[in-house]
Structure 1
Amino acid sequence: MKVLEGIRVLDVSIAMAGPFAAQKLADLGADVVKVEPLGGEWQRHVSAGGARGNEVNASFLSLNRNKRSVSLNLKHDEGRAALLELVRTADVFLQNYRPGVAARLGVDYDTLRAIKPDLVYVSMSGYGETGPYSAKPGQDVLLQALSGGLHSARRDGEAPRPAPFFLVDAFAAYSAFEGTMAALFHRQRTGEGQRVDVNMLDAIIAAQMQELSVFTVGGVPQESSDEIHAHSYIRAPYGIYPTRDGYLAISFAETDVLARVFGDDRLEAYESERDGFTHRDAISRLVTENLARETTEHWLDALGAEGVWVGPVHDYASLVHDPQVAHNGSFVEYEHPTEGRVTTPGFAFRLGSQTQEVYRPAPLNGQHTHEVLREIGLSDEDIEALERGGAAHRDPRGTPVASA
């Protein structure tokens, strides 16, 4: 039995953070029913990098495995009524509408709680449901910029540089997953459902627990450097440095060890703990100068043999072939009905008693409309009437109707 087997999640979210959170529940065995509009969720039509695929693009595939799709028009009375019937069978309802939209659609917490008192209702937003920023667009790079953290890795005179992946969306997704699991555990103990509020701003602030505490408790300001340095609160050398033929990552290296490996007596003038902060630029300048003399492979061997924390700097093309990644099984492969063989990142944790797997590929829009609506008692004739009236949609390659 999977951890969340028997738990039904209604996922009406879009884009990344909400669907990613719901997918994590699906990976643990929850029956995640993705409720999409008749034209399909927004992410079906917009993909990062323009990776559109045959019919289902890469972005949608990456965030919706192990789910079923029901296509309903929530602006249609009969479509909304079908959703409310589904709510009676659900344990979790997850949405990331802009503040106020859920109430306008009649799927706010108070309305759904009246139907299913023990429902766990997860509401995700950019900045919070109320407050001066609540109506602002909650997009990843905007939240990265607001979070304060981008000033911790820049060089003097350079603009702050955001992370090259959707960092805030990912942290918000993990926060929603964590909050949902906590609420389900509370419900198991007490029988009580509740509302779980997650916003991207709080998620990225909480992720900087150590750094922001160094500032708020220790009073240490963020100070940028003239030379390469990846984190204002860690001593030099720390960051990504160029070599003769590429780049090398160095973390917490001792200056006396570097002096010996480099054969550079100048580094002996600096003691790591004493001078690593106050003479950060001078140390980093010497490290940069020395690393440029030899190849990345040379320094990986020479510095690694002395216990220095060093590593390669992968791009995606080299990451997917890394031997540790292969050993861990960090990527999973499965067959998709329209996209063929699909390879995506796998699972962030493992349970000793169970194996997580892709047991259902990312669905076609409305692929499971008949299947799911039958489960709440609607007949094929009822569902076909919803389709004719514009309240529902079924992909013809989905579950066949009984008469077929």
Structure 2
Amino acid sequence: MDKALSGVKILDFSHLLQGPFATQLLADMGADVIKVERAGAGDMFRSMTFFAKWVGGSESPNFLAWNRNKRSIALNLKSRKVHALVMRMAEQADVVVQNFRPGVLAKLGYGYEDFKAVNPRIIYCSGSGYGEDGPYVDRPGQDMLIQGLAGLIANTGRGDAAPVPAGAGLADQIGAMNMVYGILSALYYREKTGKGQKVEVNLLAGMLAHLGQEYVGVLNLGEDFVRPNSGIGHPGMQAPFGVYETRYGYVTIAMSPFKTLYQVLEAPHLAVYDDLETLFAKRDEVWEKVNAETRKYRRGELLEKLLDADIWCAPVHDIRAAAEDPQVTHLGLIASYEHPKAGTVKVIGPAVRMSETPATIDRPAPLVGQHGREILAEFGVPADEIAALEAAGDMTVAEA
């Protein structure tokens, strides 16, 4: 079955998280993503892991998470022979993706103008930390650094302790979504006009865009966010919005009528707090009072009572519990693929459902350069030339 992006060919020079997640999303929808890695070492994420452990004894969970449905070719990009080959490939490509520091690939002859010269229809998507010019252009643009600079970390955690980064790479993942958004927009424009273009995405701009309501609030209302000292879930919100204890585990309670909440909790003494200004001004005090009530219940019992009253609530899961949640199971969000070295790898399945062109997992994350020979053969490179590249060390191929 054709997929939505069948026929779209992408040369993917990206590494780590932002670019690879973007190209994986496109690959899930059918794009032919050719992952161009460094000869020998490959993507930097291959050497990073969690818990100081490796999936199957050798593979990085970080890499396995973001690189399914791709083919890998491992090349020495400093070689002039390789440069000539890549430009031959670019003649047939639709999209180039890269997220090196600004100027790094251009110095090697792989900038937008280089690709445009051989293929005016090319769409060149460039991801960076802070943009491609300005006072921070040479700074490392890592996810946690961007969270801090943009204001997310300062808004997170309790006010009587240090601010807390998000427990996931939000800036990188938002950057990936913006890459997809830009690439798909450029592809649609090219369908209408025949013109390619350069798409620039940076983590700082993406993070600010996703803090839009916080910035509009502060810049227009003359107030600064102050983190609460309790489990209130946002520095701009009043009680009861937050995280609460039960006899076993935690629950979240979101925007809900306070009167309904204290009635369900059988705590009429909380009625004295039931107006908007008080719920904000005394939110830590209110949190303590509500938390004292929620601690009387088992978590499942409390959730049942709250949901029956249409209170917005949910359990607080860790990763393992979330993976086994009935709704996650119903949606089929935990998938797997077979990897030649790691064995069965559990992954998060495609998040978007398409009625006519469903996304599927067709390939595991590749080994370094695993598909180099077949990729070059598809582009018309003779077998002896491929062998010469390998002999010279300008291409490495890992056997599955």
TM bracket (short chain)? over 0.9
Q: Equivalent residue for 2:160?
A: 157
Question: Residues 153 and 229 of structure 1 are in contact (CA less than 8 Å); yes or no, is this contact kept in structure 2?
Answer: no
Aligned to 1:178: 181
The 5 Å alignment of 1:5-404 reads 5-39=6-40, 40-54=42-56, 55-397=58-400
SS at 2:224's partner residue? coil
- How far is the alpha carbon of 1:151 from its aligned partner? 2.7
- Secondary structure of residue in 2 paired with 1:70: strand
- Take 1:53 and 1:150, find their aligned partners in 2: how far apart are those partners? 31
How far off is 1:263 after superposition? 2.5
1:2 equivalent in structure 2: 3
Give, in whole Å, the separation in 2 of the partners of 1:285 and 1:142.
33
Give runs of ≥4 in structure 1 deviating > 4 Å: none
CA contact (8 A) 2:156 2:165 kept: no
Residues in 1 aligned to 2:227 and 2:346: alpha-carbon distance in whole angstroms = 39
TM-score scaled by structure 2? 0.96
Residues of 2 paired with 1:41 and 1:13: CA distance?
8
Q: Is the 8 A contact 2:78 2:108 kept in 1?
A: yes
Q: TM-score, normalised by structure 1?
A: 0.95
Report the 3-state secondary structure (helix = DSSP H, G, I; strand = E; otherwise coil) of the residue aligned with 2:280: coil
Structure 2 gap segments, 5+ residues each: none
The Cα shift of 1:270 comes to 2.0
Q: Give the counterpart letter for 1:47 in structure 2.
A: T
Q: Distance in 2 between matches of 1:357 and 1:227?
A: 43
Q: 1:254, 1:272 within 8 Å by CA — same for their partners in 2? A: no
Distance 2:174 2:127 in 1: 12
- Please tell me whether the aligned partners of residues 155 and 224 of structure 1 are also in contact (alpha carbons under 8 angstroms): yes
Encode CA deviations 1:368-389: one digit per residue, 9 max, x unaligned. Answer: 1111111221111110001111
CA contact (8 A) 1:235 1:252 kept: no
* SS of equivalent to 1:98: coil
Kindly state the Cα deviation for residue 164 of structure 1 after the two structures are TM-superposed: 0.6
Mind listing any 5+ residue stretches in structure 1 that lack a counterpart? 398-404
Q: Partners of 1:272 and 1:165 in 2: how far apart? A: 35
The percentage of aligned residue pairs carrying the same residue is 38
Question: After the TM superposition, which of the residue ranges 60-69 and 209-218 deviates more from structure 2?
Answer: 209-218
Distance 1:132 1:360 in 2: 41
Q: What SS is found at the alignment partner of 1:93?
A: strand
Q: CA-to-partner distance for each residue in 1:137-176, whole Å, 9 max, x for gaps? A: 1111111111112233332221111111111110000000
Q: Is the 8 A contact 1:242 1:248 kept in 2?
A: yes
Paired residue for 1:400? none
Q: Which amino acid aligns with 2:171?
A: V
Task: Report deviation, 1:273.
Answer: 3.3
Structure 1 letter corresponding to 2:215? L
| 8 A contact 1:152–1:230 mirrored in 2 | no
Residue identity in the other structure for 2:225: Q
Equivalents in 2 of 1:51, 1:6: separation in Å?
Answer: 38
Q: Distance in 2 between the 1:226 and 1:24 partners? A: 39
Tell me, in whole angstroms, the C-alpha distance in 1 between the residues paired with 2:16 and 2:51. Answer: 15
Q: 1:274, CA displacement in angstroms?
A: 4.3
RMSD of aligned residue pairs (Cα, Å): 1.5
Compare 268-277 and 33-42 and name the one that shifted more.
268-277
Figure out how many residues of one structure are paired with residues of the other and give that number.
397
Letter in 2 for 1:150: I
